[in-house]
Amino acid sequence: MEQTNQVKWPEILSLAALNVALVISWIAYHEYQPVVLENFNFTELSSFLVVAKAFVLVIIPPLAGLTADYFLKKNGKFFVVFTVGIGATAMIFMIVASIIGAGPANEMRVFLPYMILLWLISMNLFISPAYSMIEAFAPAKQLPVVVGFLFLVTELIYALEPVVVALVRFFGDTLTFIVGGVLISVSGYFFHKICSSKVINYRKDAVANVQKPVGISTYVAIIGVGFILGAGKAVLVEYYPEYIALNFPDHEGLGAYFSLGLLAFAAIMAFALSKKVVQMGLQRVIVISFVLLAVGSICIMATSNLYFTLFAGVIVASGFALINLVGIPFAIANLSAKHITYGVGIFIGASELLAGIFEVALH
């Protein structure tokens, strides 16, 4: 499949802006979901929503990708799923803000759990279509650099979670959901506007000229790489803070903050090494990242020394940085243009599987 000849930074920057809106929205959701459920007497649904979120994060991206590929093949419209996802997410944000603003006595309160569930679904409708477009934004060999930049922006926002939480608390629940809706709709609009015609034409040509068949083994490999990425995320975000709190009770709060610091470290490391990774080759980097993740995870569980545990976290973060650089480029390089959005969706879903299991188990 012929690749674009130059890096298209306007499109990449617009995708980065959409990522920022997504991250802020997720942080706001995690901050206010327990509060909203308690205020509206839906606390019994807390466990269900944790399970539902894990299920949605794994299942919806592949389904959204499959649907996007279908619309492109059928009538040349690739952005249908993306537009529906953006529009539905923004609308649900506003509906939830209205319900919260009206208070627990409002008759619309009964719709709140359904709105939260629909929000979880809509937030994942446009992820695989958006990320599958990066193959039109840069030459194949430069994709790790593009992913490195996107990873840098995304993970630095996650690492600044305490700042974002302070902001959403300042805004309050109603205004936070309104702002979230505005951020998603505005960033989604500009992303669509900047890259729609270029991406559609590129993707149509690629589909028309596709010759490479894709077998089951390719999807298995993509799922495997996605699972490795998800393992790194699960260890750093879900398991690591809990492990430190349980095994080093005198430093209970250290785990959460060090976890955020490791995300920032991984983001900066990935961006710094992105050009080097281009020279090393995707498969070689995948093997190195897997070894780092495995060794670091084993060291975390095998030691009773706090400082060695922290150092083991750095090893895991290093592996996490590298696998993030090559995961999506590996998927794109091995997929047919006819099913590239579906394949990217499978990769994204696989990357969320272990984190979802950890979150459900630790809830």
76 has pLDDT over 70 = no
Contact 100, 36 (CB under 8 A): yes
1 has pLDDT over 60 = no
Contact 129, 65 (CB under 8 A): yes
Choose among 362, 349, 286: nearest CA to 322. 286
Read off the amino acid at residue 269: M
Q: In this predicted model, what pLDDT tens digit does every residue of 145-157 receive, in sequence order?
A: 999 999 999 999 9
110-138 b/e with 16+ CB inside 10 Å = b? eebbebbbbbbbbbbbbbbbbbbbbbbbb
220 has pLDDT over 60 = yes
At the topology level of CATH, where does 9-362 sit? Growth Hormone; Chain: A; (1.20.1250)
pLDDT of residue 91: 92
More confident residue, 361 or 271: 271
Kindly report the average pLDDT of the chain as a whole number: 87
Q: In this predicted model, what pLDDT tens digit does every residue of 229-280 receive, in sequence order?
A: 999 999 998 888 888 888 888 876 788 888 899 999 999 999 999 988 888 8
Rounded average pLDDT over 289-296? 95
pLDDT of residue 2: 44
Residue spans of the domains in the chain: they are: 9-362
CA 27 to chain centre: 12
- Element (H or E) spanning 306, and its range? helix 306-333
